[in-house]
Structure 1
Amino acid sequence: MTDETFDADSTSPYASPDSKKFHEAAERALDHHFKPAVEPRPKRETGLFSLSPGTDAEALMANASEDLLSISVIACDLADDLHGSRRSVALALSRMADGVRLMVEGMLDHIEVRSVKAKP
């Protein structure tokens, strides 16, 4: 059974297919499905931390070594104020930083030996 009082035109939010609302809705629908993706923003040349292109490996390793020494000292200082398992964690962090620093220092020694051998 159909309701004879139902009028499809009266329920439409658009006055006619030529209305401004109709065209705006059609544009939004087409843009949603077919509009090309927005081009990605160009990558920034510099960020919060960046390396100069001319920085050599030896300078980077020396800086890393000093940073690791600072981390170790901070962790040891913190361990002095702690007790129990928290003290153990702080000391472990200090020892880990010391171990990595030894690896970095070994690499620096390796770089130095190679540069001495390379000189005529």
Structure 2
Amino acid sequence: MFKATPNPPESETEDTFTYTTLDSKKLKEAAERALNHYLNPAVVKDTPRKPSTIFTILPKIDTETLLANACESLASASVMASDFAALLEGPQRNTMLALQQVIMLSELAVNRALDNIDPSKQA
């Protein structure tokens, strides 16, 4: 008779821990963060957030430039979502088309904000 599933490993004491040394300071910090998260959420909320500076927008960039860039990004996202929806069927297609519509509505709002900044560009 043929057995469809393989036998389990013979050794039940396999070492699943990948680290050879433990850094007690890091472990203590992680434990304190976990305890504070569950037992003292005010401490977690009061900790200042340090955002990553890998992608930073310069503070002196004007609003019109920011809105124009957002408008172009939203237009690209709308096209990508529409193209992707064309490859899907059924509920997934409907979901992607709904996402594309949300992106398009956001693009319209950003375009209106651009028009409000420079009323001479209104059609």
TM-score w.r.t. the length of structure 1 is: 0.55
Whose radius of gyration is greater, 1 or 2?
1
The superposition leaves residues 77-112 of structure 1 with CA deviations (integer Å, 9 ceiling, x where unpaired) of 111110000000111111110000000000000000
4+ residue stretches of structure 1 with deviation over 2 A? Answer: none
Aligned partner letter, 1:79: A
Residue 84 of structure 2, aligned match among 74, 78, 82 = 78
CA distance in 2, matches of 1:81, 1:48: 34
Aligned-pair distance for 1:75? 0.5
Map of 2:99 onto structure 1 = 93
Aligned residues: 72
CA distance in 2, matches of 1:69, 1:87: 19
Residue 56 of structure 1, aligned match among 58, 62, 72 = 62
Structure 2 stretches lacking a partner, 5+ long: 1-49
Map of 2:5 onto structure 1 = none
CA distance in 1, matches of 2:77, 2:106: 11
TM-score w.r.t. the length of structure 2 is: 0.54
Alignment RMSD (CA, Å): 1.9
The superposition leaves residues 54-77 of structure 1 with CA deviations (integer Å, 9 ceiling, x where unpaired) of 200000000000000111111111
Structure 1 stretches lacking a partner, 5+ long: 1-42
CA distance in 2, matches of 1:52, 1:60: 10
Q: Percent of counterpart pairs with the same letter?
A: 39
CA distance in 2, matches of 1:66, 1:72: 10
Aligned partner letter, 1:87: R
CA distance in 1, matches of 2:110, 2:55: 20
